[in-house]
Structure 1
């Protein structure tokens, strides 16, 4: 499949963290969408990646738009699309920049989602190990700052009390901005059928992938931290 260097309708997977994005990403890879931009591309230590999103966050917090089409097209060159945060925190900008794109909105029971986030992404934003690494590693410092600012954009800096409301607001925004024929609301428990129908792909003759429980999340975080030591 063409990447965004020549394809101008990147796939937009705009679910927030812990909505089944890792399993969905693996499934999409099996359907030809092998390269989806996500937080791992920032976490791997390229300072230009973090700088892009920190600049976008600050613009948004000041009441502006995070980026324009030329800026995000340059960032996504070589990718089939974007998934999860940081991109999902800029759902409005992405939909405006790529009005022709298909959009997938992964969803999950809000209470289950909130409980999962409290054990993973919320804790990661204030992780003492990440904080210690930030003292001497500039890339980690930028990454940690981005995690904190994303919490501010999405949940007003109070995930414990405002997380569910932030999730509902995000999902409502996506539903409002994306034409119905271009939007698939999806739960990974639904498996291949609705996903393949939406994307016009043949259904693979294998089980739908399942991955990224809480333990896997923290193993990935610690592996990333070890690389920065």
Structure 2
């Protein structure tokens, strides 16, 4: 289970875990492409609490999960799945701030300000509602300064390390490659390059579309 924030190499991590575990990894990309109804379920988790039944409904067909919104439920998932291991993906806080502003927050702003009457008519759907509900849990929001966001990033890192037992947690950067990840998961190192996915432009297009699509 990935406990790292969005834009910390979670897409590369998803691809790597799928190679190592021989099954699918749950990620925001999956929600955007095929599980949009899960936004409503995550909203329920954010407002009413994440139960095992709800977690199983969303995650049971996957071997792993990472990225928003699942990563922000690491504490609950640690209890729900006591045998699960966790990966805290990191990057430099300042670079993370730049990345999240250029992707997630940019798409969110577009969703709110481009053709707002249309967005309102389709209910703005659940993406905006979910992000708003998640802000207190995340400890960050687009209105914060760059410095405040960097501090929030560090605060999340500290909270994960403090909460998850060290034997169940790998602190990881995608630049670390296969070795620490494979050792942590007790699997052989594959004879393929470690995935390196940088999909900022494609990500933005998909996320803006998600804001405006009439999903429900």
TM tier relative to shorter chain: 0.7 to 0.9
In the alignment, structure 2 segments of 5+ residues that lack a partner are: none
Listed as ranges, the gaps of 5+ residues in structure 1 are 1-11, 60-65
Q: Secondary structure at the match of 1:126?
A: helix
| 2:135 alignment partner in structure 1 | 151
- RMSD value over aligned CA atoms? 2.6
Q: What is the aligned partner in structure 2 of residue 221 from structure 1?
A: 207
SS at match of 1:50: helix
Equivalence for 1:58? 47
**Matches for 1:49-198 after TM superposition, within 5 Å:** 49-59=38-48, 66-127=49-110, 128-129=113-114, 134-138=119-123, 141-157=125-141, 158-161=143-146, 162-198=148-184
Contact conserved, 1:193 with 1:203, CA < 8 A, in 2? yes
CA distance in 1 between counterparts of 2:81 and 2:19 reads: 24
Q: Distance in 2 between matches of 1:113 and 1:29?
A: 24
Match runs of 1:198-213 below 5 Å: 198-213=184-199
> What TM-score results when the alignment is normalised by the length of structure 2?
0.84
Give the whole-Å Cα distance in 2 for the aligned partners of 1:141 and 1:73. 23
Map of 2:3 onto structure 1: 14
Query: Hey, what does 1:7 align to over in structure 2?
Result: none
More deviation, 124-133/106-115: 124-133
Asked whether the equivalents of residues 27 and 208 of structure 1 are also in contact (C-alpha less than 8 Å), the reply is yes
Count of residues in Structure 1 that have an aligned counterpart in Structure 2: 211
Q: d(CA) in 1 for partners of 2:114 and 2:4? A: 27
TM-score by length of 1: 0.80
2:32 match: 43
* CA shift for structure 1 position 152: 4.0
Distance 1:202 1:46 in 2: 31
Whether contact under 8 Å (1:44, 1:224) holds in the other structure is no
